[in-house]
Amino acid sequence: MKIEWNWGTGMALAYAVFATGTLAFVVFALRRPVDLVAPDYYAQALRQDVQMAAERNARELGGSASIVQTGDRGVLVSLPATEAAARGTVTLYRASNATADRVFDLKTDATGRQPIALDSLAPGVWSVRVRWNSGGRDFYLEHRIFVR
């Protein structure tokens, strides 16, 4: 059987190539992992005012509250000595992989410092997020680090 090449055959061939390409892209897209920033993304968006107030409270502490990367494999969280008894969490957040996040309790020493080892983390960009409550006020501090 010989196929006659005319405009109708060309249109049918173009449509077949387009349909095959579209189907291949749909299959590719469905196999990709879909990680939201957080499982409760919408609830967090509704609490945005509380988040902004916590960030403002941390800024008001000045430079006495900080997150500093110490070498390639460590981070030092520092709070004012008056906040040393505060309770909260330290989250090591990886935007590219929701399952890689790590959460620790905030346990500072008497001077308000807490070292955190980064040995178990994959190389790349991470966000260190510190959230604590002291004196009925919420505080939030965030800093990006690069783990080698």
Smallest Cα–Cα separation from 94: which of 35, 29, 40?
Answer: 35
pLDDT of residue 34: 75
The pLDDT of residue 49 is 92
Cα–Cα dist 119/96, whole Å:
19
pLDDT at 38 > cutoff 80: no
Q: Is the pLDDT of residue 37 over 70?
A: no
Comparing CA positions, the residue from 118, 103, 109 lying closest to residue 69 is 118
Q: Indicate yes or no: pTM above 0.85.
A: no
Q: Which domains does the chain have, with CATH numbers?
A: 54-147 (2.60.40.10)
* pLDDT per residue as tens digits for the range 98-132: 889 999 999 999 999 999 999 889 999 999 999 99
If you average pLDDT over every residue of the chain, what do you get? 90
Averaged pLDDT, 80-92:
90
Q: What tens digit of pLDDT does each residue of 10-35 get? A: 999 999 999 999 999 999 999 987 77
Q: How many H helices and E strands in the chain?
A: 3, 7
